[in-house]
Amino acid sequence: MAEVPEVRDRTVPSDPAAGSAVEPGPRPPARARRTTGWLTGWGFALPFAVLFLVFTAGPVLASLVMSLSDLRSADLLDPFGVDVVGLDNYVRLFSDEKFLTAAGNTAVFVVVGVPLTMALSLLVALGLNSGLIRFRTLFRVGYYLPVVTSIVAISVVWRFVLQPDTGLANEILGFFGVDGPNWLNNETFALPTLIVMGAWRNLGFGMVIFLAGLQAIPKDLYEAATIDGAKRFAQFRYLTLPMLRPTMLFVAVITTIGYVQFFEEPFVMTQGGPLDSTLSMAYATYNQFGFGNYGYASAMGYVLFVVVVLLSIAWFKLLRNDVDD
């Protein structure tokens, strides 16, 4: 019986190093590949784009149109009959004493609160990063806990602490023979009290960011500086601070945005008083919405938005050049 010759599969090469014998199929044209990629990308992005347009971009544009009108709560039944006043709402703002008072209070809150919060956050981060403090994890949790706690609950607790007769703050001052003031009902002390509270509450956020920035600095740089005879203060000034510029920029921008929009503290603790000494721009905007002055309140909101943008640009101009260098 004749031996049947072995039939070798032509699709499998006899030499593994020779590569596959199967010829690849023709690739689709470049235009088709681009179209497929474009459709795939938009397929993934479309749900977010729709939500963004409906719930963010749409309301923003609608509020811009509202700020150019005299829309009030009574006009909601006939929104197309509202009078268009142009820039009159914006002009009116700069002659509104209550709004100017709110703008001044917000400026004080930002100018004092942001540097205070950043300085305390950096100081605590340096202490926790030094390795000289035991139970550092416990301290990190303790400092960060107010950040994730409800601001309403924190404000209520602070109101009890700052009570003029039975509050813990005045009890401590009374132990040293000091007669404590009525912190929240005194025109002189109300705003500084809210600033201290805001700095305490936001200290944990800045601490975590600064701590991450400090741990990213190579230890070799400090060792080289020590060998060259640099003292601790010199290392902090000429090594730590320059290396922390990007971190400082981020903390400054985020903290400034939060402080410009401060609302919960005066709303819960002082209701903007006494005598509007703690009235903020955000709280004044909220009040106008409550009064039904939607057009005027929208103009206030856009002024607040412009202030946030300008302050953010100022921080970038102040710190970004050093970052790029």
C-alpha neighbours within 13 Å on the C-beta side of residue 226:
6
Please identify which residue in the block is written with the tokens 């005879």. Answer: 229
Burial class of residue 196, CB neighbours in 10 A (0-12, 13-18, 19+): middle
CATH number for the domain harbouring residue 270: 1.10.3720.10
Residue 141 and residue 173 in one domain: yes
Residue 146 and residue 185 in one domain: yes
Q: How confident is the model at residue 12 (pLDDT cuts 50, 70, 90)?
A: very low
Question: Do residues 13 and 19 lie in contact, with contact meaning Cβ atoms separated by under 8 Å?
Answer: yes
Least confident of 20-29, 83-92, 176-185, 252-261: 20-29
Residue 62 and residue 209 in one domain: no
Number of domains in the chain: 2
Residue 68 and residue 100 in one domain: no
Q: How far apart are CA 145 and CA 196, in angstroms?
A: 17
The answer to the question of residue 18 being in a domain is: no
Model pLDDT, residue 25? 54
Model pLDDT, residue 23? 55
Residue 75 and residue 201 in one domain: no
Residue 42 and residue 126 in one domain: no
Q: How far apart are CA 101 and CA 25, in angstroms?
A: 74
Q: How confident is the model at residue 298 (pLDDT cuts 50, 70, 90)?
A: very high
**Residue span of the structural domain in which 52 resides:** 33-81
The answer to the question of residue 120 being in a domain is: yes
Q: Could you give the percent of the chain with pLDDT greater than 70?
A: 86
Taking all residues of the chain, what is their mean pLDDT, rounded to a whole number? Answer: 85
Residue 68 and residue 207 in one domain: no
Residue 249 and residue 141 in one domain: yes
The answer to the question of residue 4 being in a domain is: no
Model pLDDT, residue 281? 94
Q: What is the pLDDT of residues 43-63, one digit of tens each?
A: 888 888 899 888 888 888 888
Residue 133 and residue 225 in one domain: yes
Q: How far apart are CA 250 and CA 261, in angstroms?
A: 17
Q: What is the pLDDT of residues 113-171, one digit of tens each?
A: 999 999 999 999 998 888 777 777 888 888 899 988 988 899 889 999 998 888 889 99
The answer to the question of residue 121 being in a domain is: yes
Of the three residues 48, 81, 114, the one that is the final residue of a domain is 81
Q: What is the pLDDT of residues 82-98, one digit of tens each?
A: 778 889 999 999 899 99
Residue 68 and residue 194 in one domain: no
